[in-house]
Chains A and B, each alone.
Chain A
């Protein structure tokens, strides 16, 4: 299985589309860093909703943690759109290229084919989030240094600089879980069709619809929320709250994990029964 996973990773990273996400993050995040660098403390004030008018801050407010948190909050909704480019291509790409025939006529089971592709997709997702972490947190700390982190939610929370790093690590970990749901969904759609465009567009459409429904404060949509996986995407944010709502975090994570397993299981079932006609 390890051999198959490494082959799948090799195939993923031999394709140009794989690097679109890395390039987008690699360009956008430094641009945000640069913008903050140019704006200086004004940028931090803006990001903190002008709380500076009411409070007096001391110390290095515009630090790597602050900017990384800002980037995570801003970009998190958009990362799925980069991930589906690869997730939607995992199985459908083989159908488009006619290479299913070569894979399935080898002495490997369909379970092994699907599972190795799925795991490779999850590894790609993790690497993309890891890249986001390096570019936002790593580069942020390098450029702006460390310092306390101020977050504004229902209350203002100030984390000491030695109490933040682990929170980011956990947040990125949960972000991988969130994005793995997106990969799994795109992977599922990828198992239905012969062309990657369909799964990519469909997954994007579902995420957009779910996100819109999630933010409209109407009773009908509120009643739908528990059934939308995007509703459980906020878990990573709980690490920047005090105290951390562990029960909600665990529940949200379990729901997302169930989605991942469900989407993968369904894709496996479909592929096991599929006639390879491409």
Chain B
């Protein structure tokens, strides 16, 4: 997605820290989310994403630091700010003994805006639950609860939508629908979306800006296009004749870009436009290329974080 945010800050976090007894969950975190952003909030499990989101929603109190949302301090203007926020925090939980419709009706009533029957049904239709509106939530699958979670987040037409792992438990079709919905809300409705995830490709598909955190601190922050495309890629090249390919590479300028060889795979560090040139060079010299697998350095880095190597 294009990086075309306006300078108006919707979320402004400075030096945010949360200490739980012996555990430092979030450590001096800074982040800015601008109006219209789809902001990817990435990090492995236990990185402090949910704790940060809980602080943004006043579920837990920060040990130190400041949070300003819509330009106002959260600790002072909490009610006014929350009126304009819709959120899913971790797994969506509802009153299981009540029907889906009644759950939304209750949440609508306490959301500070009048939510009509028509609006509830519209939202249920948007998430594909209109036929189950009378069913008690205890009869819902996890995926259906997830959809209902999104419905309750959108119910009062908020300006800022905070989604914590919204595709968890959904099938591929459901994941795609959620992604499409996020893009629709951002592009067509002008909503600002704060999307937390531990899956880089998921964020890459919808976000224009992102931050990666680990152990409660910022590792990388910037525009998605900048972070994902400006760096060199680690490319695995699979060939039919490794000896011939190795010989060709060693006698050319590509040698400088070769980083290793394992079995029939050759590893290169390349810029995006160099991939096709390398392919052309090998094919023209009678080496059959059966595979070109690019892996971005950021993805590598993110994997290193998630695997605990960083």
Contact = CB atoms under 8 A, between A and B. Distances in A.
B110 A105 contact: no
Interface string A93-135: 0000111111111111100000000000000000000000000
Contacts of A209: none
Nearest to A15: B97
Given A97-B93, A99-B94, A100-B59, 7 more contacts: A11-B98, A14-B98, A101-B57, A104-B57, A104-B58, A107-B79, A107-B80
B129 interface: no
Nearest to B107: A102
A7 B106 contact: yes
A204 B215 CA distance: 43
A7 B93 contact: no
Given A106-B110, A107-B79, A107-B80, A99 B60 contact: no
A258 interface: no
B291 interface: no
24 contacts: A3-B110, A7-B109, A10-B106, A14-B98, A97-B93, A97-B95, A97-B96, A101-B57, A101-B59, A101-B90, A102-B107, A103-B110, A104-B59, A105-B82, A105-B85, A105-B87, A105-B89, A106-B111, A107-B80, A107-B82, A108-B110, A275-B60, A277-B54, A277-B60
Contact of A275 (B61, B98, B107): B61
A273 B111 CA distance: 22
A11 B79 CA distance: 23
A108 B79 contact: yes
A107 B112 contact: yes
B219 interface: no
B89 A106 contact: no
A97 to B, nearest CB: 6
B79 A109 contact: yes
Chain B contact residues: helix, strand, loop or mixed: loop
A4 interface: yes
A107 B83 CA distance: 5
Given A3-B109, A4-B110, A7-B106, A105 B57 contact: yes
Interface in B163-214: none
Interface string A72-85: 00000000000000
Contacts of B59: 100-101, 104-105, 275-276
B110 A7 contact: yes
B91 interface: yes
Contacts of B236: none
Interface of A: 3-4, 7, 10-11, 14-16, 97-109, 273, 275-277
Contacts of A97: 93-96
Nearest to A272: B61
User: What 6 A-B pairs are tightest by C-beta distance, nearest first?
Assistant: A98-B93, A275-B60, A276-B59, A107-B83, A107-B112, A107-B82
Contacts of A16: 97
B60 A106 contact: no
B152 interface: yes
A102 B85 CA distance: 12
Contacts of A3: 109-110
A56 B271 CA distance: 111
Contacts of B98: 11, 14
A190 B74 CA distance: 27
B106 A98 contact: no
Contacts of B57: 101, 104-105
A161 B187 CA distance: 77
A7 B95 CA distance: 12
Nearest to A273: B61
A106 B95 contact: no
Contacts of B91: 98
A205 B238 CA distance: 72
A50 B292 CA distance: 101
A217 to B, nearest CB: 47
Contacts of A277: 54, 60
A107 B78 CA distance: 7
Nearest to A96: B93
B58 A106 contact: no
A101 B97 contact: no
A101 B87 CA distance: 9
Contacts of B61: 273, 275
A149 to B, nearest CB: 43
